[in-house]
Amino acid sequence: MKKQIGFLLSFLLLIASQYSYAQNDAKALLNKVSQKYNGYKTIQADFSLDIRQANGSSHRDAGTLYLDNANNKYHINTKNQILISDSKTQWNIMKAEKEVEISEASNSTNEINPTNIFTFYTSGFKYALANAEKAKGINLSVVELTPVDSKKNYSKIKLRINKANNLIYDTTIFDKSGNRYTYTLNAQEGNKTIASSFFTFNKSNYSGFDIVDLR
């Protein structure tokens, strides 16, 4: 009986040790990724969004994100929508509706938003290194993130990272209703010169648009 108990304790200690190593490996990898992105003053990224709904339907979109990393400013341009923020105000430009909604910008670190889309994983998550994967010939490290706050509307986030350069390849968010959102970064460029005016709304560019101020 004592031998059985000793074997069981040894087995549990081995499992705990392996989990600790996996945690440390995941943390070290995420630190490399965040350091890489934090080293950029600006980031330009072409992305695609693939939405798989629980009922089996799907939707795709694509666009370009421009981020002033140092000043929490962004400009996102997709087929149907443009989002602009100067860190204080956000302009939501809906092209088909010819309407612009103005609201206060949210720079909360507690939620995933355009200002922290490359570094959101640095706090508020438990993480584990999963089996490596490959996509389009690219070797990818995989980290699975679980929110510490169980009240979040998503249960898990899967982060795939290019092993060659420590840049994010894609991010998949699994929400609690069964929907799945995958953001794939098709091209990324750091420290590109972007005019400051690109992060402000110019009303003259949207003649005929209704302006709705929600502040």
Residue with tokens 């304790």: 9
* Average of per-residue pLDDT values in the chain: 88
pLDDT tens readout for residues 89-110: 999 999 999 999 999 998 777 7
pLDDT at 81 over 70: yes
- The 3 state secondary structure assigned to the chain is CHHHHHHHHHHHHHHHHHHHHHHHHHHHHHHHHHHHHHCCCEEEEEEEEEEECCCCCEEEEEEEEEEECCCCEEEEEECCEEEEECCCEEEEEECCCCEEEEEECCCCCCCCCCCCCCCHHHCCEEEEEEEEEEECCEEEEEEEEEECCCCCCEEEEEEEEECCCCCEEEEEEEECCCCEEEEEEEEEEECCCCCHHHHCCCHHHHCCCEEEECC
**Residue 25's pLDDT band (boundaries 50, 70, 90)?**
confident
| Tens-place pLDDT, residues 32-78 | 999 999 999 999 999 999 999 999 899 999 999 999 998 999 999 99
What pLDDT, on a 0 to 100 scale, did the predictor assign at position 111?
A: 82
Place of tokens 């509307």: 153
Spell out the residues 6+ positions from residue 198 whose beta carbon is closer than 8 angstroms to its own: 66, 75
pLDDT tier for residue 112 given thresholds of 50, 70 and 90: confident
- pTM score, whole prediction: 0.84
